[in-house]
């Protein structure tokens, strides 16, 4: 995470966070600065209601970090809805190859479609 000009206090807080020097509460929870807390939809606060592709440089300066892939996929869908145009949906082809043909029945397609291993796209990938 990077702090911009005029954000020295936040920069110092980030360094303390990274070094484990912040006072932790119960369950190792820390207090976040008020500027890091969102009261509404995070995608709305970062990108607004609509995203203009004419302002690509401004988009390059924005980011939403998520602790889990499932959260990142949800945020990505919210951001895609703000882009002009129609999304194209691509689906994966999931099947299992087993030495013993009977093992294939242990891995139904619906189950395979529900998995999103780290580093892999979801079963239904929306692109614009």
Round to whole Å and give the CA distance between 126 and 89: 5
**What is the CB-side half-sphere exposure of residue 17 using CA atoms within 13 A?**
13
Contacts of 33 (CB under 8 A, 6+ apart): 10, 13
User: What pLDDT does residue 1 have?
Assistant: 53
For the chain, which residues make up each domain, given as ranges? 1-37, 39-84, 86-128
pLDDT of residue 91: 94
d(C-alpha 75, C-alpha 41), whole Å? 10
Task: For the chain, list residues with pLDDT below 50.
Answer: none
Q: What is the per-residue pLDDT across 81-118, written as a single tens digit (0 to 9) for each?
A: 888 889 899 999 888 888 887 788 888 889 999 988 88
CA distance 111 to 28: 35
Output the pLDDT for position 89.
Answer: 94
Whether the predicted model's global pTM rises above the 0.75 cut: no
Would you state the pLDDT for residue 90? Answer: 94
Q: Rounded CA gap, 104 and 97, in Å? A: 7
């Amino acid at each position: 995470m990077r702090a911009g000009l005029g954000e020295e206090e936040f920069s110092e807080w980030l360094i303390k966070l990274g070094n484990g020097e912040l006072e932790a509460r119960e369950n190792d929870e820390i207090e976040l600065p008020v500027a890091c807390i969102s009261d509404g939809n995070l995608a709305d606060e970062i990108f607004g209601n609509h995203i203009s592709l004419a302002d690509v440089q401004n988009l390059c300066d924005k980011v939403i970090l998520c602790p889990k892939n499932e959260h990142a996929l949800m945020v990505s869908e919210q951001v895609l809805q703000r882009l002009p145009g129609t999304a194209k949906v691509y689906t994966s082809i999931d099947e299992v190859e087993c030495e013993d043909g009977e093992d294939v029945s242990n891995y139904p397609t619906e189950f395979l479609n529900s998995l999103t291993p780290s580093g892999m796209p979801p079963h239904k990938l929306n692109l614009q």
